[in-house]
Every structure is written in structure tokens, then in C-alpha cells.
Amino acid sequence: KAGVTQTPRYLIKTRGQQVTLSCSPISGHRSVSWYQQTPGQGLQFLFEYFSETQRNKGNFPGRFSGRQFSNSRSEMNVSTLELGDSALYLCASSSSGTGFYGYTFGSGTRLTVV
């Protein structure tokens, strides 16, 4: 059974640009969550989608957005990149999205903003 797949693994962007990251959840999983991991702030929740609907959003500016497609694949977009957006972005999927059994994480996309 394939795991959670995130593409690309590494990305270098220039300040002011925008970026789109992709996440393919485990087959059958309908909930997809996104997290930002930085050395200073640790793991912070960005947003969660379930059946194409955003159910929860963390405390991030509107430059961070996401969506989920009918096949449960998800993308997140960051517009007008800032140096502080450099981080490891992790995607996680769950079958029920209730957190009861936990979430399976992908290997992440390492974004560097220069």
C-alpha cells in the first residue's frame, strides 16, 4: 500500500514568488492535513481538508491557501513568499479525519526561500 506522497521533495524559490506543493494521500483516505515545521516554531498546523472541504485552519496569513480534489489529492499554495516561509512542509492523511487512529505523514517538501 503506497504511503503519503509529497512532491517535490526540495524547492528553492525567490522572495516574492509563489509556490504550489502537492500531496497524494493513502488510497481511501479522505482527510488531508498540512503542517509547517521550522526549528523555531516546531510543528504548526496549517489546514485540514475532508472530502474537498476545508474543516479547520491554523493561524497563518491568507498567503497560505490550499485545496483538495475529488480524488483526495491536495495542494497548498503560498503566495508572495517571504524568507520566513522557509520550512519543511508536511502533509498527513487519515481515513476518518477524527484523529482517533492518528495520521500518516509524508516525507515532506523542503522549501527554501532566498
Partner 1 sequence: GNSVTQMEGPVTLSEEAFLTINCTYTATGYPSLFWYVQYPGEGLQLLLKATKADDKGSNKGFEATYRKETTSFHLEKGSVQVSDSAVYFCALPFNQAGTALIFGKGTTLSVSS
Residues of the shown chain interacting with partner 1 in the complex, contacts defined by CB under 8 A: 4, 6, 31, 33, 42-43, 45, 48, 50, 55-56, 58, 90, 92, 97-108
Nearest approach, Cβ of residue 16 and partner 1 (Å):
28
- Minimum CB separation of residue 47 from partner 1 in Å reads 8
Q: Pick from 92, 44, 88, 90: which is nearest to 72 by CA?
A: 92
What Å distances lie between residue 68 and 7, 9, 41, 84, 89, CA to CA? 15, 20, 26, 25, 16
Question: Closest separation between CB of residue 83 and partner 1, Å?
Answer: 22
Residue among 71 and 107 whose Cβ is closer to partner 1: 107
